[in-house]
A and B are shown apart, each in its own frame.
Chain A
């Protein structure tokens, strides 16, 4: 049963530090999404890639967030510098090219103190 994997699962860091979250999509899935979940805002789309090319990052604060896909098996989301308001669960999801269904990873719970 193939699944999206994410590392780390939990991260506690101090304000101002750099945070990097990683995602391994399901093999063969060519579209990768990053979402953020908070109690106040719910689930929000941050960015997504198709065939490693960024298609939409309008949901991402541009000054501190960056997302990349160095290769087809790895997507990264970086925050620099981190702020307390970035505390959230960050989910990666992937989708095969011929389908609409998105499959979520277990998430990275980020706490910025």
Chain B
């Protein structure tokens, strides 16, 4: 089955700086890679996703890049703000036609004022 590794587990950055979270996956057949943001006690919320036929996708301050050859993808947040503080999860799906998401262990992003 799919295995998703996520790094770092904790990331502290100064407000206004950029944050980068990295994930690797094991199943080369996976074709969908979403990122979720989860605040304490809340549901995971989809913030951006990318399909395997695209190398990069951007939405305002958030971008995701995908390297299919190396089987890794990254989340980039620019001009970080206090409300970006949360746990971020990467995930992968689609290998073997499976629709369920395999998640990384999460990154606790802390924005220092």
| A residues whose Cβ falls under 8 Å from a Cβ of B | 31, 33, 35, 42-45, 48, 50, 55-56, 59, 91, 95, 100-107
Contact B32 A45 (CB under 8 A): no
Which of A50, A59, A102 has most B Cβ within 10 Å? A102
Q: Mark B74-98, 1 if CB is under 8 A from A, else 0.
A: 0000000000000001010110001
Among A35, A56, A106, A107, the residue within 8 A (CB) of B98 is A56
- Please name all residues of chain A whose beta carbon is closer than 8 Å to the beta carbon of B44 when the two chains form the complex: 43, 91, 104
Select the stretch in B11-19, B20-28, B63-71, B102-110 that faces chain A: B102-110
Inter-chain CA distance A59–B99, complex, in Å, is 13
Q: Does B45 contact A (CB under 8 A)?
A: yes
B residues 29-71 near A (Cβ < 8 Å) are 32, 34, 36, 42-46, 49, 51
- Please name all residues of chain B whose beta carbon is closer than 8 Å to the beta carbon of A44 when the two chains form the complex: 103
Q: Does B100 contact A (CB under 8 A)?
A: yes
Q: Which 7 A-B pairs have the closest CB atoms?
A: A45-B100, A43-B103, A104-B43, A100-B32, A42-B105, A104-B44, A106-B43
Q: Is the interface of A mostly helix, strand, loop or mixed?
A: strand
Contact A55 B99 (CB under 8 A): yes
Beyond the given A48-B99, A55-B99, A95-B99, could you list 8 further A-B residue pairs with CB under 8 A, ordered by the A residue number?
A: A35-B101, A43-B91, A45-B100, A45-B102, A50-B99, A102-B34, A104-B45, A106-B43
Contact A42-B103, Cβ < 8 Å, known A56-B98, A102-B34: yes
| Distance (whole angstroms) from the CB of B93 to the closest CB of chain A | 7
| Distance (whole angstroms) from the CB of B42 to the closest CB of chain A | 8
Which of B42, B46, B100, B105 has most A Cβ within 10 Å? B100
Inter-chain CA distance A71–B44, complex, in Å, is 25
Among B49, B89, B102, B105, the residue within 8 A (CB) of A100 is B49
Smallest CB-CB separation from A6: which chain B residue? B43
Inter-chain CA distance A107–B103, complex, in Å, is 17
